[in-house]
Amino acid sequence: MALMATCLGFPRIGAGRELKKALEATWAGKAPGEALEEVGRALRARHWAAMKAAGMTEVPAGDFSFYDHMLDAAVMVGAVPARYAAVADPRARYFAMARGLQDPAAGVDLPALEMTKWFDTNYHYIVPEIAVGQTFRLAARPLLGQIEEARACGVEPRPVLVGPVTFLQLAKLAPGAPAGASALEALDRLVQTYQELLATLAGRVGWVQIDEPCLVGDLDGPTREAYRRAYDRITFSKARPKILLASYFGELGPNLELGAGLGCEGLHVDLVRAPGQLEAVLDKLGPGAVLSLGVVDGRNVWRTDLDRALALVTRAVEKVGGARVRVASSCSLLHVPVDLALESDLDAELGSWLAFARQKLDEIVALAAAAGGETVHAARFEVARAALASRRASPRARDPEVRARAEAVRPEMLRRRSAYPARSVRQRARFGLPLLPTTTIGSFPQTREVREARAGWRAGRMTAEAYLQFLREETRRCVAEQEALGLDVLVHGEFERTDMAEYFGEQLSGFAFTRHGWVQSYGSRCVKPPVIYGDVRRPQPMTVAWTRFAQSLTPKPMKGMLTGPVTILQWSFVRDDQPRAETCRQIALALRDEVQDLEAAGTGMIQVDEPAIREGLPLRRAEWPAYLRWAVDAFRLATAGVGDETQIHTHMCYAEFGDILAAIAELDADVLSIETSRSQMELFRDFGRSRYPNEVGPGVYDIHAPRVPTTAEIDELLARARQVLPSERLWVNPDCGLKTRGWPEVRAALANMVESARRARRTLGS
């Protein structure tokens, strides 16, 4: 008999990005909220039907979200900061927490909650804000509604909850909390709310999935005790469903005994990231406990080696019996595209190597059947074996010249000619910038007209020359806008680019692209990661022509804009047949050529963005040094070949950087721009404590919220920044690129930013 087959979650956005379109129509006032709810119901029904058709024994419910699952959890337990109480409509309040809300007519101006990366993924979550003495109040109606919807679709739902300890570990205390306070102080009150929720679910469902991914990280004594205290109370209650405790993104390791001993009826482990933990898990598994094996990768798009995965499942069945083993995805399938069947443009060979969420369901079911002794899906094993053999033998994955060049990298290639103090003197003489120079991060609004022109060109409705002329005019207009605003250092706007990683991957060998391979990054923001299948080479310059054209339009400095090697790596689906460090080095060498070509073309400022460098950090500190070594070396390999007068910028955003500031300093970028406005410059204080040596642009304008910061807000942020670093080493810029914003709010926000910088200069001058 086949084993139970399931997954930990499914993509929310829809194969045609239906959720994105419905959200943006709602936010723009073009569709009522009821229409958004109907899109949500239709997507959930479609996804459950797909899981049922594939043969899933049990399906997740409550993993769907209109913005983010951490935000949903905060709303469900009543962790809504008091300032949002003024928004009476629950839907508007929810989106105000996610995106901010600015309504001058109503006198409402609410910044959004902070946002940061979900562990080591490119998914962003909304950071819950916990007040000192926080009380909680259960609001379970949306979850209960999804459970009833699932039953109406004829599937057995398993609700998915963010675990109470992970929730508090990833939350932050509200401003004004006393020094040394911890969000875990609220644990007992939060657990009481979870007990109430589980009692509500009792009789409605047989199992509930509680996600505690923090169990695969480093835990201190108080956090370990928090786990014991929380689950002693949760599991003691008899009025509850059975609990599947889900860990993922790594190995339980030293936390295995803790996790296995929390009294839950089931334990899920990630055997894609950490297959070597299986024997230890089998030894520690409690009597009668169910073991969910994450043997199909929820993070990457490569076809599963079914024989290798089956060996792991078979070993578990031998040890504890098939009735106690489930076959599952390693984590939620949120992180992969929906359906490979839509990719009609991929060549047959490459397509045979891949599996998206829909295909991963088939892999799970095939494994569950084979482990139970059934042969009904034997053909899937044969197809998988043939595809894996094809991939291993294909010459398209290896380029001898690229490999020889990577092996020839020498330490001197990773060092600038002079140290920063000497470089800064030459750069200031070259550019003659004022104190607190103003700039932006790179992209400007990709309007409907830009998107329509790109679609028309790709569909053949617009000629290549007409499209090129359109892009030139957009660039010309963007440069003129920046000059009118009074910005000191300009960018060309990036209208020719779709995505930070995809644009460069399209011009590098070893990359493949999809048409429908969208993945949610946050809210309605979706990205289409490239697939790195082979060795990476730059056949020709990628950005030089656009940068040269933009510079010809203005006497002001024009930054050349590149995505860094670590970020291209992190924001792609990366080949798994060689170390990630080796792939990153190949990308760095390709970018090194581009940086040097930009310099030769007269570009004096070159920005190489690395927003994902923190994202790639392993979840255990013991593994940090090795990762940071090759990540820093890759950035330096890409950038260190220029002269002292060339100013290297980089940009980072939406992550906690305080604990890797030494590595960030080691990048040796002349100017670093960083996200700080959502945290009210809180993250920037670490730069002062670490005595960061180079120049920094702390973001003073939160571009992920549709609101215009006032000059008073920016004045306050700049004043806080000047308490951390001397004004001579500060720049003034937004948090991130402006691609997703509209021109009216961008003009207003940047005008306020420029005016605030000028006021600060006048104050300093006096």
Cβ atoms of 127 and 113 within 8 Å: the answer is: yes
In which element (H, E) is residue 750 found?
helix 743-765
Enumerate the active-site residues. Answer: 704
φ, ψ dihedrals at 531, nearest 5°: -110, 115
Q: Measure Cα distances from 111 to 78, 107, 288, 682, 710 in Å.
A: 19, 13, 49, 15, 12
- Other Cβ atoms within 10 Å of 181 Cβ, number: 13
The strand pair at 157-162 and 59-61 is best described as parallel
Q: Which two tokens stand for residue 156?
A: 């057995």
**Distance between CA atoms of residues 47 and 44, nearest Å:** 5
**230-234, Cβ contacts within 8 angstroms, sequence gap of 24 or more:** 230/164, 230/165, 230/187, 230/191, 230/194, 231/262, 231/263, 231/264, 232/263, 233/191, 233/195, 234/164, 234/191, 234/194, 234/195, 234/198
Pairing mode, if any, of strands 115-117 and 124-126? antiparallel
| Residue pair 397/391 in contact by the 8 Å Cβ criterion | yes
CA distance linking residue 227 with residue 217, whole number of Å: 13
Count of other CB atoms within 10 angstroms of residue 142: 18
Separation of alpha carbons 177 and 183, rounded Å: 10
Rounded Cα gap, residues 659 and 680, in angstroms: 18
Backbone conformation region of residue 442, classed left if phi is above 0, alpha if psi is from -120 to 50, else beta: left
- The packing angle between helices 544-551 and 464-485, to 10°, is 50
Q: Which amino acid is at 621?
A: R
Burial class (CB in 10 A: 0-12, 13-18, 19+), 598: buried
Unique residue bearing structure tokens 């969910």:
292
Q: 311-315 contacts: CB < 8 A, separation 24 or more?
A: 312/271, 312/275, 312/278, 313/3, 313/367, 313/368, 313/371, 314/371, 315/278, 315/279, 315/282
Q: How far apart are CA 746 and CA 749, in angstroms?
A: 5
Residue listed under structure tokens 């951490």: 70
**Are 361 and 373 within 8 A, CB to CB?**
no
Helix (H, G, I), strand (E, B) or coil at 683: coil
Cβ atoms of 492 and 520 within 8 Å: the answer is no
What is the C-alpha to C-alpha distance for residues 267 and 285, in angstroms, rounded to an integer? Answer: 8
